[in-house]
Amino acid sequence: MRRSTSTLLALVNLACPGFALAQSMPDMPGMNMPQTSQPAVPTPMAAAMPMQMTGAFGPYAMAREASGTAWQPDSTPDGGLHFMLGQWMLMSHGYADAIYDNQGGSRGAAKTFSASMGMLMAQRPLGVDGTLGLRAMVSLDPLMGANGYPLLFATGETADGRTPLVDRQHPHDLFMELSGSYSLKLSPGSSVFFYAGLPGEPALGPPAFMHRASGIDIPEAPITHHWLDSTHITYGVLTAGYVHDAFKIEGSVFRGREPNQERYDVEAPQLDSFSARLSYNPGPNWSMQASWGSLTSPEQLAPRVNENRVTASAAYNLLFGRGNTWASTFAWGRKMDSPGHDLDGFLIESELVLHDLNTVFARAERVDEDELFDLDTASPLNGRIFTVNKLSIGYIRDIQVAPHLKLGAGGLVSRYAYPAALDRTYGSPTSFMLFLRVKLS
């Protein structure tokens, strides 16, 4: 727990560089502020008077933007802290969880670790109708160790470059995103934009799970991660897109290979894969997307296997009363390996926040797995497809320990349903996590 506590404090420092940058707040395009006769005072935006801030990729509310270039509902609460530095608008966001994880059953294991994320975004006007955006996101996940943490029925990537991770979730890289963008406003409702990242996130799938309002507070990764949003850390991404009112169409070229086991490095870019995504926000509470991608050799341990992936998702967000939010996501993804199988993954997750301090969440998943016995090539079950169902529910209680900092405690429990052929291998596990977290608010 000593390492976990140090990790929590370190991430708060990483996530809050904007605290030292607060300056006076001049008028900027896209920000409508009431006039006042009072002198300008260095003030964080979170404490300033109401304003409308436009996104980095188009003439719409900034709240619409999620991970990479993905969209979420316009009504999604902005959990970050905003500051001004000259013409630069800065936003800082982050959290850190100290977790005790016990997965149970014959294949389960227990571990205490910390998962974390810190992000700093900056944007400013550039040219007559242009916007320049920069984004840096880091994680201290590598401190949990190369083989990540126990998570039954999770598969994908490797800890040592030789053996696959099975029933474990890999740690994220230290650098989760280092990206820049430029958008040009064409009319009051339309724009074109360009995005580049090393690493970055291509136009494929819904927002990454640690950015979705419905999933950001759930301390475990979804087992559908590699069906939906595993490309959120990609070493080499170029994206171009067009926005027209509630629609966005975009395409990416990117490196198809997922990050290797070296979690502290920046890998060489290689633009060998491509994707396209159509997004639609029909109203302030809804966001939908459909996307397709062709990935070249995504798995390090199966270099001759390519993958086509198709996804579709719908996200809903409702604000009601003061400090109350209900956010939900439904997502489907299909992996089509060549050579290999066609595998489906489904996810429904929902989070209810009451009075900003009580969070109830649930996530249900159904996934077709063919990698559960990759560690035992002699098993008669090796290579077979098994459909696994998982349900997780949990609760978090927060207290406000500082003006923009929350401390929370919570837990979750998970149960599974799967074919009888897996009974001898997995038993009948009940998994649970207990955790503490700090979060910018």
Confidence of residue 80 (pLDDT cuts 50, 70, 90): confident
Pairing of strands 306-319, 386-402: unpaired
pLDDT at position 52 is: 55
Written as one string, the DSSP assignment of 337-400 is EESS-EEEEEEEEEEEEETTTEEEEEEEEEEEES-TTTT-TTSTTTT--EEEEEEEEEEEEEEE
Inter-residue contact 155 to 247 (CB < 8 Å): no
Inter-residue contact 163 to 375 (CB < 8 Å): yes
CA distance 295 to 308: 6
Task: Read off the pLDDT of each residue in 311-340 and give the average, rounded to a whole number.
Answer: 96
Residue 226 corresponds to which tokens in the numbers above? 């590699």
pLDDT at position 441 is: 79
pLDDT at 22 over 70: no
CA distance 254 to 275: 8
Task: Read off the pLDDT of each residue in 262-266 and give the average, rounded to a whole number.
Answer: 95
pLDDT at position 196 is: 98
Q: Is residue 33 part of a domain?
A: no
β-pair partners for 185: 191
Residue 64 corresponds to which tokens in the numbers above? 């619409």
DSSP E strands, 103-214: 110-125, 130-138, 149-158, 164-169, 175-187, 190-197
pLDDT at 46 over 50: no
pLDDT at position 179 is: 98
pLDDT at 43 over 90: no
Question: Nearest to residue 219, comparing CAs of 405, 381, 395, 44?
Answer: 395
pLDDT at 45 over 90: no
CA distance 203 to 65: 13
End-to-end CA distance of the chain: 24
pLDDT at position 24 is: 34
- Give me the number of domains the chain comprises: 1
CB burial of 343-356 (b: ≥16 within 10 Å; e: otherwise) equals bebbbbbbbbbeee
Inter-residue contact 329 to 215 (CB < 8 Å): yes
CA distance 51 to 30: 9
Inter-residue contact 316 to 206 (CB < 8 Å): no
CA distance 176 to 172: 7
Mean pLDDT, the chain, integer: 89
pLDDT at position 27 is: 35
Residues 217/219/220/224 CA torsion (nearest 10 deg): 10
More confident residue, 222 or 20: 222
pLDDT at position 231 is: 96
Q: Is residue 327 part of a domain?
A: yes
More confident residue, 47 or 358: 358
Max CA-CA distance within the chain?
78
Give the pLDDT confidence of 100-148 residue by residue, as tens digits.
999 999 999 999 999 999 999 999 999 999 999 999 999 999 999 999 9
More confident residue, 28 or 83: 83
Confidence of residue 156 (pLDDT cuts 50, 70, 90): very high
Give the pLDDT confidence of 241-259 residue by residue, as tens digits.
999 999 999 999 999 999 9
What's the CATH code of the domain at 300? Answer: 2.40.160.10
Confidence of residue 218 (pLDDT cuts 50, 70, 90): very high
**H or E stretch at 228:** helix 225-228
Residue 265 corresponds to which tokens in the numbers above? 């490095």
pLDDT at position 79 is: 75
Q: Is residue 31 part of a domain?
A: no
Q: Is residue 93 part of a domain?
A: yes
Q: Is residue 88 part of a domain?
A: yes
pLDDT at 15 over 50: no
**Segments forming the whole domain that contains residue 9:** 2-25+42-440
Task: Read off the pLDDT of each residue in 287-314 and give the average, rounded to a whole number.
Answer: 97
**How many CA atoms within 13 Å lie on the side-chain side of 75?**
19
Task: Read off the pLDDT of each residue in 68-73 and give the average, rounded to a whole number.
Answer: 98
Q: Is residue 280 part of a domain?
A: yes
Percent of residues, the chain, with pLDDT higher than 70: 88
Q: Is residue 34 part of a domain?
A: no
Q: Is residue 328 part of a domain?
A: yes
CA distance 418 to 388: 5
